[in-house]
Amino acid sequence: MKWNLPNILTLLRLLAAPGLAVMFLYFTRPYADWFALVLFVTAAVTDWFDGYLARAWKQETKMGAMMDPIADKAMVVIALMILVGYSTEHWTPWLVLPATVILFREVFVSGLREYLGDVAGTLKVTNLAKWKTTAQMIAIAVLFSQGIFEHYLVMSSFGMDQALVEQIMTGQVEDVNGLRWKFEGMVWSGRVGLWLLWLAAGLTLITGYDYLRKALPHLKET
């Protein structure tokens, strides 16, 4: 095993994946959301850097090629699990279906690659698959930010009755605590995050079918 910088970044990203769940075990919200968001975004950035550096420095290795997709999948799977588990009842049904599509595709393709063995290496990652991963990463980051807006809104309105909150939202009472912009941030980050996650789910289905189509000749041979 060659411990060059690209491989170290990939390994750190792999170790960061369970760290997302740890944030919610040891920290209260919204601090857990903040830490998870920062950790996830940092890991997503290293995903681009380790591949770029490996190619630029000609340090591509079998270990890096093996760990990179595992780290990506671990980050996405654990992040989706957290988002579904900690989302409000209003958002949960809309999260479950795209999350299910994404998780099913990852499990199915991973099993298919394992079955194909050495042949799987000949099925190259397409540009569309890279766009799928990018859409997943951005969607998850935006949805983590939705949790931050939501909890700051709850903290800012703590102790207020519903009538007062409604008066602040409609402009009848001065918005000293910034409830309106926190509410808008919560709503729009949730909507945009969901739109992007559904987009990622659509790309996931397309790339999963494309991988299966390319793998079928090899399946027939076996």
Residue 5 has a pLDDT of: 79
Label residue 88 by pLDDT band (50, 70, 90): low
Q: Tell me the backbone φ, ψ of residue 37, rounded to 5 degrees.
A: -65, -50
Which whole number is the average pLDDT over 106-115?
Answer: 81
Question: Is the pLDDT confidence value at 115 over 80?
Answer: no
Residues 6+ apart with CB under 8 A from 182: 149, 152, 153, 156
Residue 120 has a pLDDT of: 60
Residues 59 and 191: their CA atoms lie apart, in Å, by 40
- 190, 192, 201, 166: which is closest to 90 by C-alpha? 190
Note the pTM of the prediction, 2 decimals.
0.83
Label residue 14 by pLDDT band (50, 70, 90): confident
Residue 64 has a pLDDT of: 67
**Residue, of 63 and 104, whose pLDDT is higher:** 104
Label residue 122 by pLDDT band (50, 70, 90): low
Label residue 222 by pLDDT band (50, 70, 90): low
Residue 201 has a pLDDT of: 93
Residues 206 and 203: their CA atoms lie apart, in Å, by 5
- 209, 200, 206, 208: which is closest to 95 by C-alpha? 200
Helices (H), the chain: 5-26, 31-56, 62-86, 92-116, 127-156, 162-169, 179-221
Residue 1 has a pLDDT of: 55
Question: Is the pLDDT confidence value at 154 over 70?
Answer: yes
Q: Which residue in this structure is represented by tokens 């703590």?
A: 158
Question: Is the pLDDT confidence value at 116 over 80?
Answer: no
Q: Which residue in this structure is represented by tokens 């760290």?
A: 19
Question: Is the pLDDT confidence value at 110 over 70?
Answer: yes
Which whole number is the average pLDDT over 121-126?
Answer: 68
Which whole number is the average pLDDT over 23-47?
Answer: 85
Residue 202 has a pLDDT of: 93
